[in-house]
Amino acid sequence: MSRLAAAFALARAQNRAAFVAYVCAGDPDFDTSLAVGRALLANGVDVLELGVPFSDPLADGLTNQLAAQRALESGMTAGRVFELVRRLRETSEAPIIFYTYYNLVFANGVAAYVQAAKDAGVDGILTLDLPPEEAGEMAAACRAHGVDTVCIVAPTTPDARIAKIAAAATGFIYYVSREGVTGVRDQVAGNIPEAVARIRAQTALPVVVGFGIGTRGQVAEVAAQADGVVVGSALVNCIRDNLANRAAIVPAIAARAADLSAGVKRA
């Protein structure tokens, strides 16, 4: 059983959703990012989703755009991202997935990139802008190296296309609960139960819900319906809000993760 499958199985056995935390690799610098990742994994995070910093993150709102910019300005490269994963693997066997854009994979050679990710300790890759019709080379590389693929379903995705997307995924389905880009919202999107049911009708893979979730109450609301809950911007904001005193970043994000992760428990 893969680390991803084991994490979701454990969450099911404990009658809760899995808590997936997103941060950008290298934000605001390598050492702080390493400490952030370790703090998240020590405070209720089941799956760590690392954004691979990119100059044109089209699916991301301002919070995560600026996080990517900080990481790039600090000197993060593909090699440094892999090194970050290797360092995290020194102390944790929790699943780690990449949230990335296809240019970053393609520019390094698809097979070489996936192999390097696997060698570093990556369990899955979510390639934001790669539709299943164009993903043959990526899917083959992931199969060859035992890396799970994570695919996105949107609120506007019709049932026939959900089936095609689900067939391309091996790790889990990421339901983007809102149209538009990432970012904290005041309320959870509507129709999540119906959307999750539509996806589950097409796949046995776990269904994880993200985009716009930023409070413990919102986590609990989504956890009642989905197999996993993704929180990103609310955690990245802990980094942004403490840039003037970087020593405060890790305690702040650890406390926020512990609070948010408490929401995944079901009644």
What is the H or E stretch that residue 18 is in?
strand 18-24
Cα R_g (the chain), whole angstroms:
17
The active-site residue, picked from 27, 29, 46, 49, is 49
- 49 carries an active-site annotation: yes
Q: How does DSSP assign 40-82, residue by residue?
A: HHTTT-SEEEEE---S--TT--HHHHHHHHHHHHTT--HHHHH
Q: Report the alpha-carbon distance of residue 217 to residue 211 in Å, rounded.
A: 15
Encoding tokens for residue 218?
Answer: 């919102």
Q: Put residue 119 in one of left, alpha, beta given phi > 0 → left and psi -120 to 50 → alpha.
A: alpha
Tell me how far the alpha carbon of residue 54 is from its chain's centroid.
15
The active-site residue, picked from 60, 123, 148, 227, is 60
- 60 carries an active-site annotation: yes
CA distances from 69 to 29, 73, 209, 240 (A): 11, 6, 26, 12
Q: Report the alpha-carbon distance of residue 80 to residue 95 in Å, rounded.
A: 19
Q: What angle do CA 112, 173, 89 make, to 5 degrees?
A: 50
Q: Report the alpha-carbon distance of residue 25 to residue 35 in Å, rounded.
A: 11
Which residues lie below 8 Å from residue 104, measured CB to CB, with a gap of 6+?
Answer: 52, 54, 78, 113
Residues 151 and 169: beta-carbon distance below 8 Å? yes
List residues with catalytic annotation: 49, 60
